[in-house]
Structure 1
Amino acid sequence: MTCPRVGHIDFLNVLPLSYSYNHGASQGLTITRGVPAVLNNDLITNRLDMSNSSSIVYARHSDKLLILPDVCVSTDGAVQSILLISKKPIEDLKDDKIILTAKSATSHCLLKIILRSYGAIPNYYVRHVSPETPVPDDASAALLIGDDALWCYHHKEKNLYYYDLGLEWQALTGKKMVYALWVVNHDFAENNPEMLQLIYDRVTKAFRQYPEHKHKIIGSVLEDKPFTPQQLDSYLYNTIKWNLNDEYIEGLETFYALAHNMNLIEHIPALNFAKVRRN
């Protein structure tokens, strides 16, 4: 067969895998790098065989996707890289105009669930948001994700309010939060079990070995990213989690249930996992 087409959302929250792909783990694979919104679409239109993907995408397309076991992007509390930045306190947001970054999908749903719990039903608009001007003049607040949000987390402006959606989710539900999954097209998984196993082994190994190699991995991006080693170490070693265990699965199921209650997804999906030999 031709090389498997693998998407890679190249945010810092998956830096161990980015490093691994850049140092041999991409051999035999066709890697497509991009932001979540683009790769999510490529996945469901069969331009990719598998990818890390916004967790809400699985809920919307669970009829054609399987979840790769044991791996995700998640947090137990603060996330640092998904922020609502507002000109007013969150409890004062009602029917305000809120700008949503065009890069994401899960974070849009997460924000809508959280703001509804405050009694807010804002007017949402999707467009580009700049970390240098995080809240446009014509809006009350904006949602930023990924490296842009992480930069804002470390460069807070005194006249703005910052809300970490991981902390807000934990306060609302008491659960852990899964932001991204690795998902694979059902047909690819069924027809290419050996290649699926190879990808699973490479992805899980990259995250499993991170603690042993973290200084080298962090050092590989310091020239290109506006963060200190200490900031990245805190983010990757203490904040972001990659192990999709039972507690995180419970958080994922809670997220899907609340999203369904708000009509953000049509149904609560069963969690169907790809068959691999697990580490």
Structure 2
Amino acid sequence: MTCPRVGHIDFLNVLPLSYSYNHGAAQGLSITRGVPAVLNNDLINGRLDMSNSSSIVYARHSEKLVILPDVCVSTDGPVQSILLISKKPIESLTDDKIILTAKSATSHCLLKIILRSYGAIPNYYVRHVGPDKPIPDDATASLLIGDDALWCYHHREEGLYYYDLGQEWQELTGQKMVYALWVVNRDFAESNPEMLQLIYDRVTKAFRKYPDQKDTIIRSVLDDKPFTYEQLDSYLYNTIQWDLTEEYKKGLETFYALAHNMNLIEHIPELHFAKVRRN
């Protein structure tokens, strides 16, 4: 068969897997790297067999996808890399203009849920926004994700308000938040069980080995990323979680329920997992 087509959202929150792919784990795979919005679209349109993907994508296309067990991108509280940056306090937002990064999907829904809890119904616009000018002149606030948001988290401009959506979610629901899943096209999962098992083993192993390899892995990107060792260690070791436990599944189901209540998804999906021998 041809090499499985595997998407890889190459943010720092999956650095252990990026490192693993760069050191042999990509052998026999056709890896496509990109931002969530692009790879999400490639996945649901059949151009990828599997990918790490915005968790909301599974809810919108659960009829054609299954979840790779035991792995996700999640936090129990603050996330550092999903930020609402605003010119005024969050409780003062009403029908203001808010720019949503074009890179994302889950965070758009998460922000809408959180702002609705404050009574705000903003006017949202999706377009490029970056850390060099986090809020355009014509907007009140912006949503940033990934490495851009992480940079802004550590380089705050005086006079602006910063809201970590992981922390906001926990204050709203008391639960953990799952931002991304590894999802697989059902047809591929059913037709290629051995290759699916190989991919599952490689992905879960990369994150499982991280505590023992974190010094090497963090230092491998220090010359290319605008962060210190201490910042990345705090982010990857103390903030981001990768184990999709029952508590995180509960948080995911709550996210889907609230998204459905706001008509952000058509139905609340059941969580269907790919059949693999689990580690």
TM value normalised by structure 2: 1.00
Partner of 1:133: 133
CA distance in 2, matches of 1:38, 1:275: 27
Partner of 2:41: 41
The equivalences for 1:18-57 within 5 A come to 18-57=18-57
Partner of 2:213: 213
* 1:168-197 alpha-carbon deviations (Å, 9 max, x no partner): 000000000000000000000000000000
Partner of 1:14: 14
Partner of 1:258: 258
Structure 1's unaligned 5+ residue stretches are: none
Deviation at 1:130, TM superposition (A): 1.5
Partner of 1:270: 270
Other structure's SS at 1:85 match? strand
CA distance in 1, matches of 2:47, 2:128: 25
Q: Are residue 175 (structure 1) and residue 186 (structure 2) matched?
A: no
CA distance in 2, matches of 1:44, 1:204: 23
CA distance in 2, matches of 1:33, 1:13: 14
CA distance in 1, matches of 2:133, 2:163: 16
Q: Are residue 66 (structure 1) and residue 27 (structure 2) matched?
A: no
The one-letter amino acid paired with 1:242 is W
The equivalences for 1:110-259 within 5 A come to 110-259=110-259
Please provide the CA RMSD for this pair.
0.2
Deviation at 1:158, TM superposition (A): 1.2
Deviation at 1:246, TM superposition (A): 0.2
Deviation at 1:77, TM superposition (A): 0.1
Other structure's SS at 1:73 match? strand
| Identity rate, percent | 86
Structure 1 residue ranges (4+ consecutive) displaced by more than 4 angstroms after TM superposition: none
CA distance in 1, matches of 2:86, 2:224: 28
Deviation at 1:132, TM superposition (A): 1.2
CA distance in 2, matches of 1:155, 1:34: 25
Other structure's SS at 1:8 match? strand
Q: How many aligned residue pairs are there?
A: 279
CA distance in 1, matches of 2:49, 2:133: 37
CA distance in 1, matches of 2:204, 2:37: 23
CA distance in 2, matches of 1:130, 1:211: 31
Other structure's SS at 1:178 match? strand
Structure 2's unaligned 5+ residue stretches are: none
The one-letter amino acid paired with 2:22 is N
